[in-house]
Chains A and B, each alone.
Chain A
Amino acid sequence: MKDRKVTFIEAIRQGLWEEMKRDKSVFIIGEDVGTYGGAFKLTEGFIDEFGPERVIDTPISEAAIVGVACGAALMGMRPVAEFQFIDFISCGFDMLTNYAAKSRYRGCGAIPAVFRGPCGAGVRAGPFHSLNAESFFLNTAGLKMVEPSTPYDAKGLIKAAIRDPDPVLFFEHKKLYRLPRIKQELPEEDYIVPIGKARIARQGRDLSIITFGAQVLNALDAAEILEKQDGLSVEVLDLRTLSPLDKESILETVRKTNRVVILHEASITGGIGGEISAIIAEEAFEWLDAPIIRIGSIDTPVPFAPQLEDYHLPSIEEIVSACRKLAEY
């Protein structure tokens, strides 16, 4: 019998494909996305179906890719621009933060564009192919940010991002792309996952891990260990949207378990965990039974050698011991 479960990358492909079928104004633009099908083959076959006018191979020009997407979006198109690796978003930073983010506010028109690409470390790709970029943009009003962790959410969120009236940065952790463990059967019918809504990945009573992206898996693994070895009931909140943050869901899990670990893969200093901690400290201080713990990567670039990268990244052991410390507090 045919396996009806799909990978994370296939889910994004499906979402993109269906939106391009549904709406003629949706088009793809990026480096090597057409004939080659994208560095990760996410857009393989798209050019054959939709033609070179809607699947546009560009020069190596991230600033122009963003600028062109903005211009086309102003004219009523729905561009989906790809960064080959999210690390290269830095080359489009000016266009994203100054043009895309401010256009509506400045009375220059809405920019319904999606800027997507593979992010994340743990694949031995070194300092230039492993970035988690969310905190670069968190302080920019006007950009939404999404990072799913399941095929279901990936498909639903890419569709929501394409239909959104404002610019959306769509981060795809490359470690999830073809990970067998997370494959899912997806609904036949059209669906979206709304931007701005977190999801409880695991229900729990004793403490909460607030996280997103590939770290959801680490959080779930840690929760499993803690249940088996310590009898602790750990809730895992998968944020899914990083901007605007789903404050209500964050506060709700804090009010429920009163102990919280914030886990992300980007370096700890200035990371999104700081913002989430501040929200909790300001708005749920009296609900806390223990200090907030943040876990992230150490403050270094992402190193290449496996021994170094593993040290750089948060580990399941770290998460487990942080949760134990919290539970004992």
Chain B
Amino acid sequence: MKVKVNLKKPVKPLSCTKETSLKTSDLIRLYYFLKLTRMFDEITVRLKRQGKITGGVFSSLGQEATAVGTAYALEPQDFIAPLIRDIGACFVKGILPREIFASYLGRATSPNRGTDLQFHFARLEKGFIGPISHLGDMVSVMAGVLLASRMKKENRVAVAYVGEGATSTGAFHEGINFAAVQKLPLITVIENNGYAYSTPTYKQCAAKSFVDKAIGYGILGLQVDGNDVVACYEVMKKAVEYARRESQSVLIEAITYRRKGHAEHDNQAYVPAGEIEWWAENNDPIKRFELFLVEEKVASKEELKKIESEVAEYLEQELEIAESAPPPEPITAAYEVFDNSVVPPAIKKKFLS
């Protein structure tokens, strides 16, 4: 069964929330991160088609505003655990494109030494902990980060990003409930992008909206238009202030749309005809923000073009750095299961002398 979509063309093109505390320089910075995310994405698709990326490529297309807008409201000491479509949040937290390229390409220079893909790595000093593929697991890990931070009297909040699909897992429930009970300033962002792999939201959850789950945990729930980068920033700012001040957890549901398949191989045959095109044409987060920036006279079209070409140049440099690095030495696969000063590496036995 397919849901009938009735997507009408908006009366006038969608822009972003006008009420904002963001300064011009911040708005430009947001635009930079949005473009960085999208253009990074385009390069990874290219690398996949060239056969240079052997693993899955997970696109952020159409969801850039949620990741960028929410992460931009955080302080440097705050932690995030993004999900695979939140490359924008990684960039905001200071992860370099070269690091994610290197990981995608399986290079020795990747922060995970080639042991894992995409941004499955951590940069604790930047407040960044990469996800694992088991959805929902990061919620309790982030609760643990905050528990430690409370014991050490550090003033941090943490954000666990999950998709709407992850809300069906036991790990999500246990983690968010634990954080709520312990009054930890954990902000869980549910990115409702319509699909978990091929599963539409109505097969995922019977609640009218995901934000309703907040009531069951006794925490504040907020809902936001996930394709409005300004609104995403503002809602997170509010959540962060509240979480920090009250030492309480918050649940945010960001409503967005996944325009690519689960990964690059997925042809999205399960998506009702016209749906992807409608979102691309009428509700693209970057087009909306461009309209906002021009209408509000924050930047001219030419200035935005200039940012775009700067991003393009920067990304090619970053890719060059990542690609020119060597692949890992095969034997390094044996290292770092444990601290090797305590337990020796798992070097292969040799049968022939």
- A-to-B contact residues, CB < 8 Å: 25, 27, 53-54, 56, 58-59, 61-64, 66-77, 79, 94-95, 98-99, 102, 104-110, 141-142, 144, 164-166, 196, 244
Interface size class of B (residues with CB under 8 A): 35 or more
A63 and B174 within 8 A (CB) = yes
**Chain A residues within 8 Å of B124, by CB:** 74-75, 109
Q: Which of B138-146, B245-253, B305-313 contacts A (4 or more CB under 8 A)?
A: B138-146
Tell me if A166 and B175 are in contact (CB < 8 A): no
Give which listed residue, B121, B177, B336, contacts A59 with CB less than 8 A.
B177
With A27-B151, A64-B177 as known contacts, state yes or no: A107 contacts B113, CB within 8 Å: yes
Find out whether the CB atom of B148 lies under 8 angstroms from the CB atom of A76: yes
B134 CB-CB contact with A under 8 Å: yes
- Taken together as a complex, chains A and B put the C-alpha atoms of A59 and B147 apart, in Å, by 15
Which of B133, B140, B145 touches A74 (beta carbons < 8 Å)?
B145
Cβ distance A264 to chain B, nearest Cβ, rounded Å: 23
Q: Is the CB of A67 within 8 A of B177?
A: no
A67 to B142, CA, bound (A): 8
Chain A residues with CB under 8 A of B112: 106-108
The prevalent SS among residues of A at the interface is: loop
Task: Name the one of B148, B152, B175, B339 contacting A64, with C-beta atoms under 8 angstroms.
Answer: B175
A-B residue pairs in contact (CB < 8 Å), sample of 5: A74-B144, A94-B134, A105-B337, A106-B112, A196-B343
Tell me the complex Cα distance, A54–B149, Å.
13
The 0/1 profile, CB within 8 Å of A marked 1, for residues 7-47 of chain B is 00000000000000000000000000000000000000000
Least CB distance from B337 to A in Å reads: 5
**Most chain A beta-carbon contacts within 10 A, residue among B139, B145, B174, B343:** B174
A98 in contact with B338 (CB, 8 Å): no
- Which residues of the other chain, A, contact B146 by a CB distance below 8 angstroms? 71
Q: Is the CB of A67 within 8 A of B175?
A: yes
Q: Does B111 contact A (CB under 8 A)?
A: yes
Residue of B nearest to A73 (CB): B144
Contact B134 A104 (CB under 8 A): no
From residue B106, how far is it (CB to closest CB) to chain A in Å?
Answer: 13
Contact A72 B148 (CB under 8 A): yes
A106 touches B174 (CB 8 A): no
Chain A residues with Cβ below 8 Å from B273 are none
Q: Give complex CA distance A263, B304 in Å.
A: 72
Complex Cα–Cα for A56 and B151 (A): 12
Chain A proximity of B171: nearest CB distance (Å) = 5
Max chain B C-beta neighbours (<10 A), residue from A64, A69, A99, A141: A64
Q: Which residues of A contact B171 (CB under 8 A)?
A: 63-64, 67, 94-95
**How would residues 140 to 165 of chain B score, 1 for a CB under 8 Å from any chain A CB and 0 otherwise?**
11111111111110000000000000
Q: Separation in Å of the B114 CB from the closest CB of chain A?
A: 9
- Which residues of B line the A interface, CB within 8 A? 110-113, 115-116, 120-122, 124, 129-130, 132-134, 137, 139-152, 170-171, 174-175, 177-178, 181-182, 336-339, 342-343, 346
In the complex with contacts A61-B177, A75-B149, A76-B148, A104-B141 CB distance below 8 A: no
A58–B144 Cα gap in the complex (Å)? 12
With a cutoff of 8 Å between Cβ atoms, the chain B residues found around residue A58 in the complex are 178, 181
Residues B177 and A72 in contact, CB atoms below 8 Å apart = no
Known: A64-B143, A68-B178, A71-B142. A244 touches B116 (CB 8 A): no
Closest to B120 in A: A106
Q: Is the CB of B137 within 8 A of A95?
A: yes
Q: Are A99 and B148 in contact (CB under 8 A)?
A: no
Partner of B111, one of A104, A107, A166: A107
Q: How long is the Cα–Cα vector from A173 to B79 in the complex, in angstroms?
A: 39
What are the 8 closest A-B residue pairs judged by CB atoms, nearest first?
A71-B144, A67-B140, A75-B148, A107-B112, A64-B174, A68-B144, A61-B174, A108-B122
CA distance A165 to B340 in the complex (A): 10
A63, A66, A76, A141: which has the most chain B beta carbons within 10 Å? A63
* In the complex, residue of chain B having the shortest beta-carbon distance to the beta carbon of A94: B134
Contacts of A109 in B (CB 8 A): 122, 124, 129
A56 to B137 Cα, complex, angstroms: 20
Whole-angstrom distance from the CB of A66 to the nearest CB of chain B? 8
User: Distance (Å) between the CB of B92 and the closest chain A CB?
Assistant: 19
| A71 CB contact (under 8 Å) in B134, B147, B177, B339 | B147
Instruction: Note all chain B residues with C-beta closer than 8 A to A244.
Output: 343
| Residues on the B chain within 8 Å of A107, using CB | 110-113, 115-116, 121-122
Scoring B124, B133, B148, B152 by chain A CB atoms within 10 A of each residue's CB, the highest score goes to: B148
Q: Is A165's CB under 8 angstroms from B342's CB?
A: yes
Docked CA distance A165–B134 (Å): 24
Which A residues are CB-close (under 8 A) to B338? 104, 142, 144, 165-166
B120 contacts A68, CB within 8 Å? no
Please give the distance in Å from B160's CB to the nearest CB on chain A.
10
Within 8 Å CB of A68, what residues of B? 140-141, 143-144, 147, 175, 178
Query: Of A56, A66, A72, A102, which contacts B132 at CB under 8 A?
Result: A102
Tell me the minimal C-beta distance from B325 to chain A in angstroms. Answer: 15
Please indicate the chain B residues that have their CB under 8 angstroms from the CB of A76 in the complex.
Answer: 148, 152
How close is B102's CB to chain A, nearest CB, in angstroms? 11
A71: min CB distance to chain B, Å? 2
